[in-house]
Amino acid sequence: MQILRTIIPVTLWPSKAPCIAYDNVFARVGDLPNGVFVADADDGVHVKENLLDGKEFTYWSPGSSGVHYLYFYSLVKTEVNYIALHGHSMSTLGNVYIQVMYKTAPGAWTEVADKYVTDAGPIMLSFLPVRAKEWKIQITSPSNYRIAIAYIGRSMVMERGCWSGFTPPWMGRVAESITNVSESGSLLGRSFRRKGIKFSMDFTNISQVFIRDEWMPFVQSAESLPFFVQWNSLDYPLDVAFCWVNDASKDFKHPRYSSHSHMSCGVDCTGRVE
């Protein structure tokens, strides 16, 4: 198999504005002409469909070490500019290598992004948009592993960054601490439990065209499905959060006009960064 390496100009990507990834071609491949979603292997129990349900406790496992892949094909070209994975066990295995590729000719694949997995957090690899009929996420691992969530598609890159006062996702830690003391007031011990993260994104002076064409489809998707946030891929490309909204009627701030032809909007996110 021939793999052609693509060099992406750093002046065109990445971006300081948040990238919100909710479009998942794996999940909507049935709506594409002759669409097919394939995992080259599974362990007989944890199948590829588990990657699409948005749940962290179900997962896909290839069942063995070596080179495995997730693949989709359609008769029409599909635009892709990111892949995202969450709920994986790859960080503990050492030397796990992820490649994102699209087919350019029979037997020839062009690589647009790659990564060695070094931590247990959500993974999001962003790149310049490419339109192709066939895409593949290829994983080379020394041992069997699991992945709970897998997305590939076109992310929504916001027109502007967040306002001052924004808390980066990984800094919005939510924890529960319980302190036990004796009747005399002596400290007996403390217990601690991580409960994920919470953060808000607020945007102003967003064009109403962007709100209609980009933001509102995201709102409709996030009412029932999780999403990924890469809040500043230029300066902090590894800061990725797997997110959801607890109550769409409250967590989404309805778009409102801030000036002629421009609007403000926002969302309160709950999620995980590890």
pTM: 0.89
All domains of the chain in start order, with CATH: 2-157 (2.60.120.260), 169-272 (no CATH)
Instruction: Look at residue 7 in the predicted model and tell me its pLDDT.
Output: 40
Residuewise pLDDT in 10s, the chain (274 residues): 555 544 433 334 578 899 999 999 999 999 999 999 999 999 999 999 999 999 999 999 999 999 999 999 999 999 999 999 999 999 999 899 999 999 999 989 999 999 999 999 999 999 999 999 999 999 999 999 999 999 999 999 999 988 778 999 999 988 766 778 877 877 877 765 667 999 999 999 999 999 999 999 999 999 999 999 999 989 999 999 999 999 999 999 999 998 889 999 999 999 999 8
Question: Cα–Cα distance between 270 and 274 in angstroms, integer?
Answer: 13
Counting every residue written for the chain, the total comes to 274
Q: Kindly list the distances between the CA atom of residue 21 and the CA atoms of 10, 42, 124, 177, 256, in Å, as whole numbers in the listed order.
A: 21, 26, 9, 32, 23
Question: Cα–Cα distance between 151 and 26 in angstroms, integer?
Answer: 7
- Three-class SS of residue 81? strand
Instruction: Look at residue 34 in the predicted model and tell me its pLDDT.
Output: 93
Question: Cα–Cα distance between 38 and 146 in angstroms, integer?
Answer: 16
User: Contact, 148 vs 56, CB < 8 A?
Assistant: yes
Question: Cα–Cα distance between 61 and 48 in angstroms, integer?
Answer: 8
Instruction: Look at residue 20 in the predicted model and tell me its pLDDT.
Output: 96
Instruction: Look at residue 181 in the predicted model and tell me its pLDDT.
Output: 80
